[in-house]
Amino acid sequence: MNILGISAYYHDSAAALVTDGRVVAAAQEERFTRRRHDAAFPTQAIAYCLHAGGVCDDAVDAVVFYDKPITKFVRILRTQLSVAPKGIRPFLRAVPAWTQSKLWVRYHIEKELRRLGYRPPGDVFFTEHHASHAASAFFPSPFQRAAILTLDGVGEWATSSLGLGRDNEIELIEELRFPHSLGLLYSAFTQFCGFRVNSGEYKLMGLAPYGTAKYKERILSELIELRKDGSFRLNMDFFGYLSDLTMTNQKFADLFDGPSRLPETELSQREADLAASVQAVTEEVVLRIGRHLHGLTGESKCVLAGGVALNCVANGRLLREGPFEKLWIQPAAGDAGGALGAALYGWHQIQGRERSVDGVHDQMQGAFLGPSFDGDEIVEYLEQPVYSYKRIGD
């Protein structure tokens, strides 16, 4: 049975193929289009996965999309109505994309498969965004049972989820909801420090060791009401993402000693200190949530996914100082990995198929799931008149 997982339309569009429970192929659309964080429907990634899996034209049994577009659209509408009339700019920007493509996912799936020479699938399923993350974290992991932690910007409504994986089932137990989001808090500082949201967060994490966490207490006292169990509320008076196209506002700038850094300008010590401060807060939130999750589930192992799970410094502290004996983190923890999670969710959670693990090895095949090229293929490409090359024998 061939199950195709798809993530699309936000950033990091991707496709993944699971055949009889085995992860056969996965790839991001950006690898083919060469457009970083390409959000377009992943036609070329789908074509690669089906070709790599040797799938016949009538053998796509099911497609699972990694979130529920209608639920997400309702969240956007309700959010804009709640801040009206201030939310008119993001609303007018969002509506055309939704009405022209994002609400027509099933149609696009069938159309693009036909264009690639495949018949429409027998079934098309839509799973919740954080369920896809959770599935990508637990099902390929080497654990029979594990606590599940997903942290990102926002899915439909959830911004973080706590769950439990057992055998071939996942269960999400608690969630934190939009607009209160650890991922969006980190992205706000990313943008304020002059980096791109959903792209430059790793730069902010890399900048943190060059600063001191001098703003940590200011963040904890003014921006975020952090509770013992790791749940929190953001003070939306300082953020712009509900009603504008920017993450922060003037009040945020006043709190942190001046306007945001312009992209590509010289970094100052203030940006390094801001990075160190929000990194310290992020680590504290992750540690508190981890302890709460351990208390909820009683599990000694934990799996993680979602964009915030790419924060390896926070993960390291959770492993060293947290309550879990072992962690397993989905390598494609962001939205691209949602395609893989969706396909695995279809096999185990929807189809109810069994899962076997050995407690040591995961099912990611080293994550080498995209296209590769041998030496002869590379030479054939380079032997065009416009290229010169030298082949190294050893």
The answer on 189 and 133 residing in a single domain is no
In tens, the pLDDT along 149-168 reads: 999 999 999 999 999 999 99
| Whole-number Å distance between alpha carbons of 40 and 101 | 10
Domain count, the chain: 2
The answer on 299 and 227 residing in a single domain is yes
The answer as to whether 374 is a domain residue is no
**Given pLDDT bands bounded at 50, 70 and 90, which one contains residue 20?**
very high
Paired tokens of 102? 């994002």
The answer as to whether 387 is a domain residue is no
For residue 72, is pLDDT > 80? Answer: yes
The answer as to whether 100 is a domain residue is yes
- Output the CA angle 89-92-93, nearest 5 degrees: 85
**Given pLDDT bands bounded at 50, 70 and 90, which one contains residue 262?**
very high
State the CB neighbour count (10 A cutoff) for residue 391. Answer: 8
In tens, the pLDDT along 303-360 reads: 999 999 999 999 999 999 999 999 999 999 999 999 999 999 999 999 999 999 998 9
For residue 227, is pLDDT > 90? Answer: yes
The answer as to whether 284 is a domain residue is yes
19-38: average pLDDT: 96
| Whole-number Å distance between alpha carbons of 200 and 309 | 15
The answer on 208 and 135 residing in a single domain is no
The answer on 117 and 237 residing in a single domain is no
What's the pLDDT at 130? 98
- Which domain, by its residues, includes 104? 2-143+332-367
For residue 394, is pLDDT > 80? Answer: no
The answer on 278 and 341 residing in a single domain is no
Paired tokens of 354? 């069994």
The answer as to whether 115 is a domain residue is yes
What's the pLDDT at 387? 85
The answer on 338 and 284 residing in a single domain is no
Residues β-bridged to residue 123: 62
Is the omega angle on the peptide bond into residue 259 within 30 degrees of 0, that is, cis?
A: no
The answer on 14 and 116 residing in a single domain is yes
The answer on 208 and 139 residing in a single domain is no
In tens, the pLDDT along 98-142 reads: 888 899 999 999 999 999 999 999 899 999 999 999 999 999 999
Nearest one of 93, 91, 58 to 76, comparing CA atoms: 91
Q: Any idea which of 35-39, 86-90, 164-168, 237-241 has the lowest mean pLDDT?
A: 86-90
The answer as to whether 347 is a domain residue is yes
CATH number for position 305: 3.30.420.40
The answer on 186 and 64 residing in a single domain is no
274-289: average pLDDT: 98
**Given pLDDT bands bounded at 50, 70 and 90, which one contains residue 290?**
very high
The answer on 283 and 204 residing in a single domain is yes
The answer as to whether 149 is a domain residue is no
Strands 22-28 and 14-19: antiparallel
The answer as to whether 219 is a domain residue is yes
The answer on 128 and 35 residing in a single domain is yes
For residue 191, is pLDDT > 80? Answer: yes
Q: How far is CA 281 from CA 70, 162, 225, in A?
A: 33, 19, 11
The answer on 247 and 201 residing in a single domain is yes
- Edge-to-edge strands of the sheet including 326-329? 169-177, 158-166, 145-151, 301-305, 326-329
Paired tokens of 286? 């992750």
